[in-house]
Amino acid sequence: MARTPAELVGAQLAPPFAITIDGRPVNALPGQSIAAALWSAGILAWRTTRLGGRPRGAFCGIGQCYDCLATVNGEPNRRACLVPARPGDVITTQEGNGHDGLGV
């Protein structure tokens, strides 16, 4: 009988917790990145480009390409593929470079 990777290492999964993306509740698991939690919920884009407003989400998954930038708890330009999801995190779609409302 095939076993899951979690079963093979004896991992005990903790219960999911809630985060929000643009006001929509999303479940996340302990240890998941924000990008992984959003992908699991079927959300593939959470940023738009500065020029043209094209949608972006995770591309490389290792923090090199910066396509996954998101505003997390009011802080723009967080790489969602590297930031661990925490209970109650508030993620908002980032438009452009993320500094528009900061006057920078």
Q: What is the CATH number of the domain that holds 66?
A: 3.10.20.440
Residues contacting 15, CB < 8 A, separation 6+: none
- Inside any domain, residue 9: no
- Inside any domain, residue 1: no
Give me the residues of the chain with pLDDT under 50, please: 102-104
Give the pLDDT confidence score for residue 104 in this predicted structure. Answer: 40
| Longest alpha-carbon distance in the chain | 58
Tell me which residue range forms the domain holding 76.
16-94
Give the pLDDT confidence score for residue 97 in this predicted structure. Answer: 66
Give the pLDDT confidence score for residue 103 in this predicted structure. Answer: 42
End-to-end CA distance of the chain: 57
- Inside any domain, residue 88: yes
Number of separate domains in the chain: 1
- Inside any domain, residue 76: yes
pTM (2 decimals)?
A: 0.80
